[in-house]
A and B are shown apart, each in its own frame.
Chain A
Amino acid sequence: MGHLLEIKGLRVEYRSDESIVKAVNGVSFSLDKGTVIGLVGETGAGKTTTALGIMRLLPAMTGRITGGEIMFKGEDLLKKPPGDMRAVRGAMISMIFQDPMTSLNPVVSVGDQIRESLEIHSVDSRSGSAMDAKVDELLELVNIPSRRKKEYPHQFSGGMRQRVGIAMALACEPELLIADEPTTALDVTIQAQVLELMRGLKDKLETSMIMITHDLGVVAEICDRVAIMYAGEVVEQGSVRDIFESERHHPYTEGLFGAIPSLAAASRRLAPIDGLMPDPTDLPIGCKFAERCKYREAVCGHTAPGADAEGHAIACHRFAGKRHGAD
């Protein structure tokens, strides 16, 4: 059986008068029904851009998909006319945005907004009071007392707005849910509840999810597969076991795990990866991580390492078995 979603060689650029930002540079991964893939990586790595590309919601003036395919249920989303795409977003794919204010209207009460998204998305038409009950239920699911539904977004705390966004996305019962940092503003207890809700969707409705997060604890808890992104590329992907328990890792992944603040650590100082991500308007020709890599060799400076999109794949010259040569 084919994958529910298969992304092949996706490329996205942002153009302005002065420069071209190469935000996504040949990303490939796939997702099966009822499974969750985690997208992890440094800020600016292109995670949100990849998600917006799948949704075809890139900023119209500047964002452009310059290559690749996004196969969803056997059809290339990139070939769909805008009207059909709107229908796909309504009925089959929904997204929880990184900035909750993107999906919230400041002048409409929270309850009315959830109701609207129910009305737009639900196939069956419910009666008014059934709608009200559903709105209350969704709010309580994300731990917000339903009597607060008449309040406006500015009266909610940051994490409460994020939870409203989650409630709205869940209301649609999508086949594919793209969640962009859905729990960054939430404390651990509410985070645990949200993850439980998501797991429920996955188990009961076989919802598939792309979970964008920098919280490796969340990844360990909910993801089946993980793709680690760096400078617009997937540098390593594999099952959650491969990522958390294998000995072999991309040097960037190694650094990422080393930087996690640990509850057990005695020292207060943390160990960030030295250096900064390359300028996306002027990317190096070889491996994009080479400049910061402690294992760098001559080949890294001029040849970009390649990798598969299946199994445990590492785009690094150190792992010769996976080497593909220049692309």
Chain B
Amino acid sequence: MALIELVNLKKYFKVGSGYLHAVDGVSLKIDEGRTMGVVGESGCGKSTLGRLSLRLIEASAGEVLCRGEDILKFDARRMRELRREMQIIFQDPFSSLDPRMAVFDIISEPLVEYKACKNRKTLEETVIGLMETVGLAENYINAYPHEMDGGRRQRVGIARALALKPKFIVCDEPVSALDVSIQAQILNLLMDLQDAMGMAYMFITHDLSVVKHISTEIAVMYLGQCVETAATEELFQNPLHPYTRALLSAIPEPRIGKNRGKVIRGEVSDPIDPAPGCRFAPRCDFSSAACGGDIRLEEQRGGHFVACRLYQTK
């Protein structure tokens, strides 16, 4: 059984001019010890999906199953118990850490809240142990977030997320704000922690080379929907959806004189009360009248799903 399974999950926001379909019927499975990379255009609903999976915001419809049980039906007490096992790491460690709290307080807060340590001494030992795990020197224990650089701040956020030994961590762009060297350190750290503790990650990013390194599976989102999902190797070797292809060809490479693939053009996508049919069609080179119909994710070969009429069997 999958550790986490999202079933036809939806989140609509009421805005002035109608309903904004931020997440619109996403279904995904994440197994223990695996990393589901979630990629897609800015504003396509990745962060909303991450927050929905942890029930940090309430879904409009759908289910979030944790070991088969729908957590959206949990009462406050069961939800509180579950929160120990589910954590989130944010992009910007600066705005996600309380500036008035020192490192010790930030990392120990969840431990104190869940009374995870018997006494002050074990609490201190646990915090120091966590700092060691994430590669933070002990002398930062009384430092404040603004006194640290981005890499160290992100380590504090990771140590805090690990404090209660979670089973599932949503990583929302955890390395986007970091330079390549610190980024490499943090990605290696996340992979080592997973090898040691076996937790599952949902790894949200817009950086395809990062996602290729860290993920075992990838889901590509476009305007609130999952348009393609496959194992990482398979997706990179054999991208099917025209949006996925455009995404892969637009990756800038650290070389000069290399032209990137052509920029996607066409009408600006609007998630407010979207029309039925494929949402990428207005910008797609292969669109036809058939794209206005009902298009669902269909399996093409073992575990590779795509939602595009080019590949539809019926």
Residues of A within 8 A of B (CB): 40-44, 99, 101, 140, 143-145, 147-148, 150-151, 155-160, 162-163, 181, 184-193, 196, 214-221, 240-241, 244-245, 255-257, 259-263, 265, 268-273, 276-277
| Residue among A99, A151, A192, A241 with most chain B CB within 10 A | A192
Which residues of A lie under 8 Å from residue B260 when comparing CB positions? 188, 192, 221
CB within 8 A of A185: which of B42, B184, B252, B264?
A: B42
B254 within 8 A of A: yes
In angstroms, Cα B183 to Cα A270, docked, is: 9
28 A-B Cβ contacts within 8 A?
A42-B149, A43-B150, A44-B149, A99-B94, A145-B268, A145-B269, A151-B15, A156-B43, A157-B47, A184-B176, A187-B41, A187-B42, A187-B247, A190-B41, A192-B250, A192-B263, A214-B178, A215-B252, A218-B252, A220-B252, A244-B254, A244-B255, A256-B181, A260-B254, A261-B180, A261-B212, A263-B209, A269-B188
Contact call A158/B91, Cβ cutoff below 8 A:
yes
Contact call B181/A185, Cβ cutoff below 8 A:
no
B173 within 8 A of A: yes
Interface string of B179-215 (1 = CB under 8 A from A): 1111111011001000000000000001111101110
B16 within 8 A of A: yes
| Residue among B42, B43, B95 with most chain A CB within 10 A | B42
Closest Cβ of chain A to B81, distance in Å, is 30
Contact call B183/A241, Cβ cutoff below 8 A:
no
Interface string of B123-141 (1 = CB under 8 A from A): 0000000000000000000
Contact call A157/B42, Cβ cutoff below 8 A:
yes
Contact call A159/B43, Cβ cutoff below 8 A:
yes
Which residues of B lie under 8 Å from residue A218 when comparing CB positions? 252
Interface size on B, residues (CB 8 A): 57
Chain A, residue nearest B178 (CB): A43
In angstroms, Cα B206 to Cα A99, docked, is: 17
In angstroms, Cα B90 to Cα A141, docked, is: 28
Given A186-B206, A187-B39: A43 in contact with B173 (beta carbons within 8 A): no
Contact call B179/A42, Cβ cutoff below 8 A:
yes
| Residue among B92, B176, B255 with most chain A CB within 10 A | B176
Contact call A255/B13, Cβ cutoff below 8 A:
no
Contact call B272/A148, Cβ cutoff below 8 A:
yes
Which residues of B lie under 8 Å from residue A268 when comparing CB positions? 191, 213-214
In angstroms, Cα B246 to Cα A76, docked, is: 46
Contact call B185/A272, Cβ cutoff below 8 A:
yes
A99-B92, A148-B272, A263-B209 known, 12 other contacts, Cβ within 8 Å? A157-B47, A162-B42, A186-B42, A189-B247, A190-B41, A192-B260, A220-B258, A240-B256, A259-B181, A270-B187, A272-B184, A272-B188
In angstroms, Cα B150 to Cα A157, docked, is: 21
In angstroms, Cα B262 to Cα A192, docked, is: 9
Interface residues of B in 211-266 (CB under 8 A from A): 212-214, 236, 246-247, 250-256, 258, 260, 263-264
Closest Cβ of chain B to A248, distance in Å, is 17
Contact call A99/B95, Cβ cutoff below 8 A:
yes
Q: Which are the 5 A-B pairs with shortest beta-carbon distances? A: A159-B42, A217-B252, A44-B149, A270-B184, A187-B206
| Residue among B39, B151, B181, B250 with most chain A CB within 10 A | B181
In angstroms, Cα B187 to Cα A265, docked, is: 15
Contact call A261/B191, Cβ cutoff below 8 A:
no
B17 within 8 A of A: yes
In angstroms, Cα B94 to Cα A260, docked, is: 24
Contact call B41/A217, Cβ cutoff below 8 A:
no
B40 within 8 A of A: yes
In angstroms, Cα B269 to Cα A300, docked, is: 55
In angstroms, Cα B188 to Cα A190, docked, is: 28
Contact call B213/A185, Cβ cutoff below 8 A:
no
In angstroms, Cα B207 to Cα A41, docked, is: 19
Given A99-B95, A158-B173, A190-B42: A259 in contact with B149 (beta carbons within 8 A): no
Contact call B182/A158, Cβ cutoff below 8 A:
no
CB within 8 A of A188: which of B15, B181, B208, B213?
A: B208
B294 within 8 A of A: no
Closest Cβ of chain A to B172, distance in Å, is 9
Closest Cβ of chain B to A126, distance in Å, is 23
Contact call B43/A214, Cβ cutoff below 8 A:
no
Given A187-B39, A188-B247, A262-B209: A42 in contact with B263 (beta carbons within 8 A): no
